[in-house]
Chains A and B, each alone.
Chain A
Amino acid sequence: MQFAINGLMSGAIYALIAVGIVSVYKATKVVNFAHGYLIMFGAYFYFTFAVIVPNQPWAPEWLASWNPEWMVEMREGLPMFSPMGAILDWAANVPRILLGLAGALVCNAIVGRIIERVLMRPLMGQSVFAMIMVTVGLISIMSGSAQLIWTADAANVPYIAPNTPIRFELFGSMIFLFGTDLVNMIIALVLFAAIVAFVRFTKGGIAIRATAEDQSTAYSMGISVPKVFSRAWVLASTTGAIAGAILATRNGISPSLGLFGFSVLAIVLMGGLDSYVGVFIAAMTVGVLEAMTQWKMGGNWAEIVPYVAVLVVLIWRPHGLLGQKEVERI
């Protein structure tokens, strides 16, 4: 039971990352192999704005550690490791967390925009193979420049939410969670739902779906297709930024975050490239399967769970669980 819950939590984060890949694919028919590295950029931006900037000498003091009068008073007389203490510790970090998230969002949106403008737009209308290989080239460009800018050091970052342990009983077994994991999961799920709603109900979302259906018809109906493309990329890179921030607090930041993107890519294909629901199911399934594998066979084996799962699903259903079958004409 404990493992199932843990699995659902990592599944939610997988889903949040996957939504970026699906959005870009739906709008532009490009599968972004470099999405993991976009996430890594998000994590590094979060680190920059939440840790490096507040620690600069010119930054105001309240940014690094926010300690108003009433908080100091509340802290007095609290026992060690109490839940309240954890919340207060978190509250002191609130300004820099907010700054970090905002900075990560803005910077990643700019990065996504640049990628779309410089690399993707000249390739509009070219073969899918070329576009995919461009994103593959992007992998080494991004991982190289991340190492150049931030060097390869992994560092600690503040948690997004109070990290209090939570214990409760469910179906007769004891469950033990960290508050921050729970909040991460909620953030991921809410964002996922918001994006699905955005694509389904708003005007911009309908434009994205129309472009996905048929580019030239969308053009003739007055939809600015290039604008849709850049919107999809910005959407993907901003969700990537939040996913990056969450992952940074969970596993720390390192260049290996980029590899995470490949397992998410496997999940996306497993669910079906153009189906949000399928991807959600796949993400949750893989999350739980991973946790189960970790429990039964040890941590190492969990690494390859997404890859084995995608191979099995692809042989059984070539277009993923709920993916639409492409109609091919000769």
Chain B
Amino acid sequence: MINANLKSSYAADERVLDNRYKQGFVYGSILLLALFTLFGSDYAILIGSQMGILLIAVVGINVLTGYTGLVSLGHGAFVAIGAYAVTIFNNVATGIIPAGIMPFLSLPFAVFLAAAVGVLVGLPSLRVKGLYLAVATLAANFIVIFLIEEELFAPWTGGMVGLTTNAPNFFGWVLDTKREMFGLIAVLGVLALLAAQNLMRTRVGRAFIAIRDRDYSAEILGISLLRYKLTSFAISAAYCGLAGALFAYFYARILPEQFELALSLQLVAALIVGGLGRTMGPVFGVIVIVLVPELIKITFGAVTGDAAGMAQLRAPLQEIAFGALLVLFLLKEPLGINQIVDRILRAANRWPFARG
């Protein structure tokens, strides 16, 4: 079935979902997500929530690395800032602000704080790029985590032992079960994806892509590198801050070590496995990055029968699998799963004629 997208007006060409397939896909997925929220098993909901939280952060990295071409290995720090900001705001403001409207203030606070720190961390990006920027963001990640752990701020951040978090309360509706939380995460996740897709058809998004393709050329075309690189950092940090806030709401406790380098690497790995600079890339990547360790856990449990001595081999195996995935995709399919899916869809579209 070969077909084209006929558009008879500019408005139709400018839409976020510019053809029927995309519309069908998005509405279908929203329906499926709603059904999943209602009927999914508890275990599936737990995994789904992990994916959703990670997804929002990876969408943020995609804006920075995939679209603007700035490599960051320090986005775990922004997730940490989001998680801590929402919890600390809640602890400080309890009693001043009624509990029912707290999330409407604390969530934006976390997002804006993360974005502000993002601008600060992004400052070196004006002077350095590529590898130097990767190390600069890595350094920023270490420094942020260090400050969180530091004794000086322990009255607010809890230091090494972390903080107990609270469930969000929307006008008296407390989301204290995992299933309710998944609903919130799913709604925000879909919105985040659509917002990212929308961003790329605006002036700002086109400027990002121009900077990625060649930053000096973009500057000659009149794009202010200062403004757009910092905007990109702010947007991606804001996404990560939102992910962090949801992380804090979802889990009962946050610890500084959850946001260390391992998280930053996981985010970048998910993006690469899924596909850089594509809207659906983060979705595929997050699914793989979360599911593969779970599958290893399940098969490992089935093979060894949960013997105590073997259980300690599981974590290293998961770690190796994670690294192997990243290396394998870079060597064999640098454009990620999105490329594979594209190929399959293209072949289906042209069937029964030439594949390719």
A-B complex is real: yes
**Contact residues of A with B, CB < 8 Å?**
31, 119, 122-123, 126, 128-130, 132-134, 136-148, 151, 259, 262, 265-266, 269, 273, 300, 303-304, 306-308, 310-311, 314-315, 318-319, 328, 330
Q: Are B138 and A31 in contact (CB under 8 A)?
A: no
Assembled-state Cα–Cα distance A122/B331 (Å): 7
Q: Smallest distance from the beta carbon of A212 to chain B beta carbons, Å?
A: 15
Q: Which residue of A lies closest to B141 (CB)?
A: A307
Q: B97 on the interface (CB 8 Å rule)? A: no
Decide yes or no: A307 and B139 within 8 Å by CB, A144-B323, A151-B312 being known contacts.
Answer: yes
Q: Are A269 and B132 in contact (CB under 8 A)?
A: yes
Q: B269 on the interface (CB 8 Å rule)? A: yes
Assembled-state Cα–Cα distance A31/B134 (Å): 11
B294-339 at interface with A (beta carbon < 8 Å): 312-313, 315-320, 322-327, 330-331, 334
Q: Are B334 and A145 in contact (CB under 8 A)?
A: no
Q: Which of A123, A308, A314, A328 contacts B330 (CB 8 A)?
A: A123
**Interface range for B:** 35 or more
Q: Are A314 and B312 in contact (CB under 8 A)?
A: no
Q: B71 on the interface (CB 8 Å rule)? A: yes
Q: Which of A129, A132, A144 contacts B317 (CB 8 A)?
A: A144
Assembled-state Cα–Cα distance A259/B214 (Å): 33
User: For A144, A259, A318, which residue has the most chain B Cβ atoms within 10 angstroms?
Assistant: A144
A-B contacts, CB under 8 A, total: 128
Q: B217 on the interface (CB 8 Å rule)? A: yes
Assembled-state Cα–Cα distance A18/B312 (Å): 33
Decide yes or no: A300 and B320 within 8 Å by CB, A128-B130, A315-B127 being known contacts.
Answer: no
Decide yes or no: A307 and B143 within 8 Å by CB, A137-B269, A137-B323, A144-B320 being known contacts.
Answer: yes
Q: Which of B139, B313, B323 contacts A266 (CB 8 A)?
A: B139
Q: Which residue of B lies closest to A307 (CB)?
A: B139
Q: Smallest distance from the beta carbon of A135 to chain B beta carbons, Å?
A: 9
Decide yes or no: A310 and B135 within 8 Å by CB, A144-B317, A330-B214, A330-B217 being known contacts.
Answer: yes
Known: A139-B265, A144-B323, A148-B320. 10 other contacts (CB 8 A): A128-B131, A133-B272, A140-B265, A140-B319, A143-B319, A311-B136, A315-B123, A318-B128, A330-B216, A330-B217
Q: Are A141 and B124 in contact (CB under 8 A)?
A: no
Assembled-state Cα–Cα distance A256/B214 (Å): 38
Q: B176 on the interface (CB 8 Å rule)? A: no
Assembled-state Cα–Cα distance A139/B323 (Å): 7
Assembled-state Cα–Cα distance A132/B330 (Å): 10
Q: Smallest distance from the beta carbon of A142 to chain B beta carbons, Å?
A: 8
Q: B73 on the interface (CB 8 Å rule)? A: yes
Assembled-state Cα–Cα distance A265/B325 (Å): 24
Taking CB atoms, residues of chain B closer than 8 Å to A128 are 130-131
Q: Smallest distance from the beta carbon of B143 to chain A beta carbons, Å?
A: 5
14 contacts across the A-B interface (CB closer than 8 A): A140-B322, A144-B317, A148-B313, A262-B261, A269-B131, A269-B132, A300-B146, A300-B151, A304-B142, A304-B146, A314-B128, A315-B123, A318-B132, A330-B214
